[in-house]
Chain A
Amino acid sequence: MDTLANLALGFSVALSPYTLMLAVIGCFLGTIIGALPGLGPSNGVAILIPITFTLGLDATSALVLMTSVYYGAMYGGRISSILLNIPGDEPALMTTLDGYPMAKAGRAGDALVLSGVASFVGAFLATVGLMLLAPMLARVAYLFGPAEYFALYLLAFCTLGGMASNNQAKSAIASCIGLGIAMIGVDNNSGIPRLTGGNMHLADGVDFLVAIVGLFAIAEIFFFIESHGKGTAIGVKLDKVTIPWKDIFDCKWTMLRASVVGFFAGILPGAGASLGSFMAYMSEKAIAGKKGGFGTGVARGVAAPEAGNNSAAGGALVPMLTLGVPGSGTTAVLLALLMTLNITPGPTLFTDRPEVVWGLIASLLIANVVLLLMNVPMVKVFVKILSVPPALLLPGVTMISFVGIYSLSGSYFDLLLMVAFGVLGYFLRKLDVPTVPVILGILLGGQMENALRRAMVLSDGDPMFLISSPIAIGLWIAAIAGFIAPMFLRGLLRKPQALTD
Chain B
Amino acid sequence: MASDRIFGLVVLFTALAYFAGATQIQTGFMSDPVGPKTFPYLVSGAAALAALVLIFKPDPDPAWPATRTLANMGIAVVVLVAYAYLLKPLGFIVPTILAAGILSYQIEPRAKTAALSGVGLAIGLFIVFRFALGLSLRAFPHGWGL
> Cβ of A228 and Cβ of B84 under 8 Å apart?
no
- B134: chain A residues at CB < 8 Å are 55
B107 at interface, CB cutoff 8 A: yes
What distance in Å separates the Cβ of B80 from its nearest Cβ neighbour in chain A? Answer: 5
- B4: chain A residues at CB < 8 Å are 431
- A166: chain B residues at CB < 8 Å are 59
A307 at interface, CB cutoff 8 A: no
Contact of A398 (CB < 8 Å), options: B21, B40, B80, B109: B80
Q: Roughly how many angstroms separate A453 CA and B33 CA in the complex, as a whole number?
A: 7
A187 at interface, CB cutoff 8 A: yes
Contact of A176 (CB < 8 Å), options: B43, B64, B73, B137: B43
Q: Roughly how many angstroms separate A427 CA and B49 CA in the complex, as a whole number?
A: 20
Contact of A422 (CB < 8 Å), options: B40, B69, B72, B80: B80
Name the segment of A74-82, A117-125, A216-224 touching the other chain: A216-224
> Cβ of A389 and Cβ of B113 under 8 Å apart?
yes
Interface centre among A169, A226, A430 (most CB of B within 10 A): A169
The residue in chain A whose Cβ has the minimal distance to the Cβ of B120 is A392
Contact of A419 (CB < 8 Å), options: B57, B80, B92: B80
A114-150: CB near B (< 8 Å → 1, else 0) gives 0000000000000000000000000000000000000
- B135: chain A residues at CB < 8 Å are 51, 54-55, 403, 407
Given contacts A180-B18, A222-B73, contact A189 B28 (CB under 8 A): yes
Given contacts A192-B25, A416-B84, contact A399 B99 (CB under 8 A): yes
> Cβ of A229 and Cβ of B107 under 8 Å apart?
yes
Q: Roughly how many angstroms separate A304 CA and B84 CA in the complex, as a whole number?
A: 44
Interface centre among B30, B105, B125 (most CB of A within 10 A): B125
The residue in chain B whose Cβ has the minimal distance to the Cβ of A431 is B7
- A167: chain B residues at CB < 8 Å are 54, 59
B34 at interface, CB cutoff 8 A: yes
- B121: chain A residues at CB < 8 Å are 392, 395-396, 399
> Cβ of B32 and Cβ of A180 under 8 Å apart?
no
- B76: chain A residues at CB < 8 Å are 221-222, 225
B104-132 with Cβ < 8 A to chain A = 104-110, 113-114, 117-118, 120-122, 125, 129
> Cβ of B84 and Cβ of A412 under 8 Å apart?
yes
Q: Roughly how many angstroms separate A415 CA and B46 CA in the complex, as a whole number?
A: 30
The residue in chain B whose Cβ has the minimal distance to the Cβ of A441 is B43
Given contacts A176-B15, A225-B106, A415-B87, contact A169 B53 (CB under 8 A): yes
Interface centre among B33, B59, B101 (most CB of A within 10 A): B33
What distance in Å separates the Cβ of B26 from its nearest Cβ neighbour in chain A? Answer: 5
The residue in chain B whose Cβ has the minimal distance to the Cβ of A222 is B73
The residue in chain A whose Cβ has the minimal distance to the Cβ of B40 is A183
What distance in Å separates the Cβ of A32 from its nearest Cβ neighbour in chain B? Answer: 14
B36-69 with Cβ < 8 A to chain A = 36, 38-40, 43-44, 46-47, 49-51, 53-54, 57, 59, 62, 64-65, 69
> Cβ of A173 and Cβ of B54 under 8 Å apart?
yes
- B87: chain A residues at CB < 8 Å are 402, 406, 412, 415
Q: Roughly how many angstroms separate A427 CA and B46 CA in the complex, as a whole number?
A: 21
What distance in Å separates the Cβ of A148 from its nearest Cβ neighbour in chain B? Answer: 17
- A390: chain B residues at CB < 8 Å are 107-108
Contact of A224 (CB < 8 Å), options: B7, B62, B107, B129: B107
Q: Roughly how many angstroms separate A170 CA and B50 CA in the complex, as a whole number?
A: 7
- A422: chain B residues at CB < 8 Å are 80
Given contacts A399-B96, A419-B80, contact A194 B103 (CB under 8 A): no
A402-432: CB near B (< 8 Å → 1, else 0) gives 1100110010100110110011001100111
Interface centre among B3, B57, B77, B109 (most CB of A within 10 A): B77
Contact of A430 (CB < 8 Å), options: B50, B54, B62: B62
> Cβ of B46 and Cβ of A432 under 8 Å apart?
no
Q: Roughly how many angstroms separate A170 CA and B10 CA in the complex, as a whole number?
A: 13
Contact of A399 (CB < 8 Å), options: B33, B100, B136: B100
- B72: chain A residues at CB < 8 Å are 225
- A180: chain B residues at CB < 8 Å are 18, 40, 43-44, 47
- B38: chain A residues at CB < 8 Å are 452
Q: Roughly how many angstroms separate A3 CA and B64 CA in the complex, as a whole number?
A: 54
- B109: chain A residues at CB < 8 Å are 228
> Cβ of B50 and Cβ of A169 under 8 Å apart?
yes
A428-442 with Cβ < 8 A to chain B = 430-433
B74-98: CB near A (< 8 Å → 1, else 0) gives 0011001101110110001000100
> Cβ of A225 and Cβ of B73 under 8 Å apart?
yes
- B26: chain A residues at CB < 8 Å are 190, 192, 194
A247 at interface, CB cutoff 8 A: no
Q: Roughly how many angstroms separate A460 CA and B22 CA in the complex, as a whole number?
A: 23
A202-235 with Cβ < 8 A to chain B = 218, 221-222, 224-226, 228-229
> Cβ of A172 and Cβ of B21 under 8 Å apart?
no
> Cβ of B47 and Cβ of A177 under 8 Å apart?
yes
Interface pairs (14), CB distance under 8 Å: A172-B47, A172-B50, A176-B15, A177-B47, A183-B39, A190-B30, A190-B36, A192-B26, A192-B27, A194-B40, A224-B107, A398-B103, A407-B135, A431-B62
Apart from A416-B84, A431-B4: 20 A-B pairs, beta carbons within 8 A = A55-B135, A170-B59, A175-B46, A176-B15, A180-B44, A187-B25, A189-B32, A191-B28, A225-B72, A228-B108, A228-B109, A390-B107, A395-B104, A396-B125, A407-B136, A432-B59, A449-B39, A452-B39, A453-B32, A453-B33
B interface, CB within 8 angstroms of A: 3-4, 7, 11, 15, 18, 21-22, 25-28, 30-34, 36, 38-40, 43-44, 46-47, 49-51, 53-54, 57, 59, 62, 64-65, 69, 72-73, 76-77, 80-81, 83-85, 87-88, 92, 96, 99-101, 103-110, 113-114, 117-118, 120-122, 125, 129, 133-137
- Ranked nearest first, the 9 interchain pairs of A and B with the lowest CB-CB distance are A190-B28, A461-B33, A415-B84, A176-B47, A391-B108, A395-B100, A172-B50, A169-B53, A449-B39
